């Protein structure tokens, strides 16, 4: 049998010194490795990771597991911009900064950036919406849906959860139908009359990919062309076990590096490497919109926000909501460094107050005369101008400034409670932009724009009074409230809500008014379809499935469902028009409390704390061409 030295001499190993310092387990296995695998092993040894080979068995034992290990290393290496060596180097620097308690914003002074504050339904809002709808055919939509959703604790993927249980439409269906409605409306307005298919990208991860694909495939992509939808899977990153950034091995498998999600910031590098951005650019696209998995209100804010991007020519437009001082939501701030650097960026709420105090704002994070913080609350929905985005990514490859958040065992900060990893956030994209980049924000009312579902019922019930629950209960109720308020603004009389407690959370229960995105994409459209003498009582449910349904003079006290079909081309515009008039009265659909611990109730229902008992309703279907009238 050849000696290790003889075997090594046949390999192309630069210098060979590294192999001499490699653990015996690796040295004895080197002859069996391919040149690429040797390179990876060398990189690990040279970056101080010899420990991962210490337990390697003699050649012939566990060879498949060693191969799998090196395959995993290769994946971790290629999926990270700059490779694993660069990951380890950055990790060491960030871990040292974290140990030293260094503030990433040291030397920066915050001020309020320039942005647009919108009031729902006024002329300005309507103008922005109109522009946004026109621009939508030049936009691509990117849903980041790779998160684990640990706080929610739901067993399925979050995008499969019903956004509301009146229609049972899940988030993914709602998002796709919203994009399709925008596509249709935008193409109708196109001066050259050309059609387009708005690209829809979903970033998944190993935790969500297969189930997301299954949800799409088993539902015919919810009406979208499969070729319009592209799934990009993010990879996890290596875990680190100490301040030297030594890679953590999986406790249950010593031939595997432990990995964890890297955060939604991965979306930029993935989009860049996919080649999609250039394709979109060549096809005349101008905008990329990023959004998250469980915000049932978002598309009510999208048209106006896109209009703001187009009119103000923002390279980056962050959607925001009014923020109360010290509220647990990041603030969008302009940061100016003593050395002249500036950036407009999300500053996490726990960093904003100390930063303000350290830079001359003696009271820190406080409300101004409007009763809100002057720094708008970031809701992490971004609109980027495609051209400048591509130019920036050519420089960065889509790498986003990372952070590390180790949970230390004690104040000495020398060891961790459990392994950590680098993370990055998509909203940190502007950190590398030049000071001349047009980075702004659009503020909309929270009731219109933001109701994410992040917390499980137990944690939501513990949220201090006055703060948002961000639960499945509040996420659903927010949709009813928004739709009720929009109808009110459009001239209808909608009864006040009642207060009820579900899963320990006190919520406002408005009439359950739900419509398909194509019925009411913008405020003007809703206003056009609702007469001024309509009324809806608090106990009512109104479900509008179809585009051309005109609620002319309806008095509703119960449940009413109207289904207005379309032909195969989705052509309901001229073919079908339903006008609704008169009084509809029945026992309606009643909300009944359920206990979230009651395992006999499906999980997606019990996490809300209520289910809908469909006692009595009037349902009308209009699936024949022509004009129809429902006169009750």
584 binds ligand UTP, rule: CB under 6 A: no
CB closer to ligand UTP out of 110 and 261: 261
CB closer to ligand UTP out of 114 and 467: 467
N- to C-terminal Cα separation, the chain: 94
CB closer to ligand UTP out of 380 and 628: 380
Beta-ladder partners of 555: 535, 583
- List the one residue from 115, 146, 331, 457 that touches ligand UTP (CB under 6 A): 146
Query: With 0-12 CB in 10 A as exposed, 13-18 as middle and 19+ as buried, what is 580?
Result: buried
144 binds ligand UTP, rule: CB under 6 A: yes
145 binds ligand UTP, rule: CB under 6 A: yes
Binding-site residue total for ligand UTP (CB under 6 A)? 19
CB under 6 A: which stretch of 143-151, 167-175, 308-316, 585-593 binds ligand UTP? Answer: 143-151
Report the alpha-carbon distance of residue 332 to residue 117 in Å, rounded.
13
454 binds ligand UTP, rule: CB under 6 A: yes
| Minimum CB–partner distance for residue 350 and ligand UTP (Å) | 15
470 binds ligand UTP, rule: CB under 6 A: no
CB under 6 A: which stretch of 150-158, 371-379, 470-478, 591-599 binds ligand UTP? Answer: 150-158
- What's 227-277 look like in SS3? HHEEEEECCCEECEEECCCCECEECCEEEEECEECCCCCHHHHHHHHHCHH
Residue 68, number of CB atoms within 10 A of its CB: 14
Give the residue nearest to ligand UTP (CB).
147
CB under 6 A: which stretch of 141-149, 216-224, 538-546, 587-595 binds ligand UTP? Answer: 141-149
| Minimum CB–partner distance for residue 137 and ligand UTP (Å) | 25
Residues 328-387 close enough to bind ligand UTP by CB under 6 A: none
Q: What is the DSSP annotation of 558-605? A: SEEEEEE---TT---TTTEEEEEEEEEE---EEEEE--TT-TTS-HHH
Report the alpha-carbon distance of residue 219 to residue 214 in Å, rounded.
8
| Minimum CB–partner distance for residue 369 and ligand UTP (Å) | 32
27 binds ligand UTP, rule: CB under 6 A: no
CB under 6 A: which stretch of 7-15, 144-152, 347-355, 593-601 binds ligand UTP? Answer: 144-152
Q: Could you give the 3-state DSSP secondary structure of residue 504?
A: coil
Q: Residues 529-541, buried b or exposed e (16+ Cβ, 10 A)?
A: bbbeebbbeebbb
Residue 93, number of CB atoms within 10 A of its CB: 12
- List the one residue from 33, 57, 148, 575 that touches ligand UTP (CB under 6 A): 148
Q: Could you give the 3-state DSSP secondary structure of residue 223?
A: helix
Beta-ladder partners of 380: none
Could you give the string, one character per residue 182-211, with x where binding to ligand UTP holds by CB under 6 A and - elsewhere?
A: ---------------------x-x------
CB closer to ligand UTP out of 148 and 605: 148
Degrees, nearest 5: CA angle 490-496-500 = 135
| 12 Cβ contact partners less than 8 Å away, ≥ 6 residues apart | 35, 38
| Minimum CB–partner distance for residue 455 and ligand UTP (Å) | 8
Residues 219-248 close enough to bind ligand UTP by CB under 6 A: 234
- List the one residue from 150, 217, 368, 616 that touches ligand UTP (CB under 6 A): 150
CB closer to ligand UTP out of 144 and 564: 144
Q: Tell me the residue ranges of DSSP E strands in 476-568.
A: 493-494, 498-502, 505-509, 512-515, 535-536, 541-545, 549-557, 559-564
CB closer to ligand UTP out of 186 and 427: 427
Residues 511-530 close enough to bind ligand UTP by CB under 6 A: none
Residues 274-333 close enough to bind ligand UTP by CB under 6 A: 292-293
CB closer to ligand UTP out of 264 and 481: 264
Query: With 0-12 CB in 10 A as exposed, 13-18 as middle and 19+ as buried, what is 596?
Result: buried
CB closer to ligand UTP out of 209 and 286: 209
161 binds ligand UTP, rule: CB under 6 A: no
| Minimum CB–partner distance for residue 105 and ligand UTP (Å) | 21
147 binds ligand UTP, rule: CB under 6 A: yes
Report the alpha-carbon distance of residue 471 to residue 530 in Å, rounded.
31
CB closer to ligand UTP out of 454 and 518: 454
- List the one residue from 89, 92, 99, 151 that touches ligand UTP (CB under 6 A): 151
Q: Helical H runs in 24-62?
A: 24-29, 35-46
CB closer to ligand UTP out of 138 and 158: 158
Cβ contact 488:512 at 8 Å: no
CB closer to ligand UTP out of 461 and 543: 461
Residues 247-266 close enough to bind ligand UTP by CB under 6 A: 261-264
Strand 377-385 relative to strand 316-321, pairing: antiparallel
| 205 Cβ contact partners less than 8 Å away, ≥ 6 residues apart | 146, 147, 233, 234, 235, 236, 261
- What's 292-346 look like in SS3? ECCECCHHHHHHHHHHHHHHHCCCEEEEEECCCCCCCCCEEEEEEECCCCEEEEE
CB closer to ligand UTP out of 345 and 509: 345
| Minimum CB–partner distance for residue 231 and ligand UTP (Å) | 12
CB closer to ligand UTP out of 44 and 321: 321
* H/E run at residue 20: helix 17-20
CB closer to ligand UTP out of 378 and 522: 378
**Residue numbers of the site for ligand UTP (CB under 6 A)?**
144-152, 203, 205, 234, 261-264, 292-293, 454
């Amino acid at each position: 049998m050849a000696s290790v030295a003889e075997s090594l001499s046949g390999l192309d190993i630069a210098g060979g010194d590294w192999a001499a310092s490699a653990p015996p387990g690796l040295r004895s296995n080197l002859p069996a490795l391919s040149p690429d695998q040797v390179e990876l092993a060398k990189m690990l040894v040279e970056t101080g990771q010899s420990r991962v080979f210490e337990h390697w068995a003699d050649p012939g034992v566990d060879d498949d597991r060693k191969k799998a290990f090196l395959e995993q290393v290769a994946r971790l290496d290629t999926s990270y911009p700059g490779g694993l060596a660069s990951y380890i180097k950055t990790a060491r620097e960030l871990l040292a900064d974290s140990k030293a308690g260094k503030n990433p914003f040291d030397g920066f002074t915050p001020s309020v950036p320039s942005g647009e504050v919108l009031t729902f339904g006024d002329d300005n809002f309507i103008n922005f919406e109109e522009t946004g709808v026109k621009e939508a055919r030049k936009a691509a939509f990117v849903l980041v849906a790779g998160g684990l959703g640990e706080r929610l604790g739901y067993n399925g993927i979050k995008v499969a959860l019903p956004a509301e249980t009146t229609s049972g439409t899940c988030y993914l269906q709602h998002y796709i139908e919203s994009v399709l409605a925008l596509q249709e409306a935008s193409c109708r307005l196109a001066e050259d009359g050309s059609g387009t298919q708005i690209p829809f990208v979903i970033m998944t991860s190993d935790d969500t990919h297969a189930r997301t694909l299954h949800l799409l495939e088993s539902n015919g992509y919810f009406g979208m062309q499969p070729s319009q939808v592209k799934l990009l899977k993010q990879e996890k990153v290596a875990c680190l076990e100490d301040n030297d950034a030594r890679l953590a091995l999986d406790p249950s498998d010593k031939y595997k590096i432990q990995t964890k999600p890297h955060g939604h910031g991965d979306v930029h590098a993935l989009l860049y490497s996919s080649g999609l951005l250039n394709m979109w650019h060549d096809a005349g696209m101008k905008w990329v919109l990023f959004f998250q998995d469980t915000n049932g209100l978002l598309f009510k804010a999208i048209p106006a926000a896109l209009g703001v991007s187009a009119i103000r020519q923002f390279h980056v437009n962050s959607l925001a909501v009014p923020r109360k001082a010290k509220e647990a939501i990041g603030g969008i701030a302009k940061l100016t460094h003593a050395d002249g650097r500036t950036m407009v960026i999300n500053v996490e709420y726990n960093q904003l107050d100390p930063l303000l105090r350290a830079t001359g704002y003696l009271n820190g994070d406080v409300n101004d005369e409007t009763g809100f913080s002057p720094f708008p609350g970031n809701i992490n929905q971004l609109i980027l101008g495609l051209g400048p985005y591509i130019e920036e990514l050519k420089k960065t490859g889509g790498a986003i400034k990372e952070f590390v958040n180790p949970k230390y065992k004690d104040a000495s900060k020398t060891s961790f409670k459990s392994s950590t990893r680098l993370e990055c956030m998509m909203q940190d994209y502007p950190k590398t932009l030049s000071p001349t980049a047009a980075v702004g924000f659009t503020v909309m009312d929270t009731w219109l724009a933001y109701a994410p579902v992040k917390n499980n019922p137990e944690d939501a019930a513990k949220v201090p009074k006055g703060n948002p629950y961000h639960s499945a209960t509040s996420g659903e109720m927010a949709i009813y409230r928004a739709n009720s308020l929009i109808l009110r603004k459009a001239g209808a009389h909608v009864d006040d809500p009642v207060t009820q407690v579900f899963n320990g959370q006190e919520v406002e229960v408005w009439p359950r008014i739900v419509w398909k995105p194509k019925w009411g994409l913008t405020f003007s459209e809703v206003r056009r379809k609702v007469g001024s003498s309509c009324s809806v009582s608090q106990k009512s449910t109104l479900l509008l499935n179809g585009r051309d349904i005109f609620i002319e003079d309806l008095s509703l006290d119960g449940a009413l469902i109207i289904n207005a079909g379309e032909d195969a081309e989705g052509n309901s515009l001229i073919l079908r028009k339903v006008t609704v008039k008169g009084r509809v009265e029945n026992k309606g659909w009643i909300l009944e409390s359920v206990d979230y611990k009651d395992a006999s109730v499906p999980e997606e229902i019990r996490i809300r704390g209520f289910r809908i008992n469909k006692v009595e309703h009037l349902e009308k279907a209009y699936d024949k061409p022509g004009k129809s009238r429902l006169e009750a």
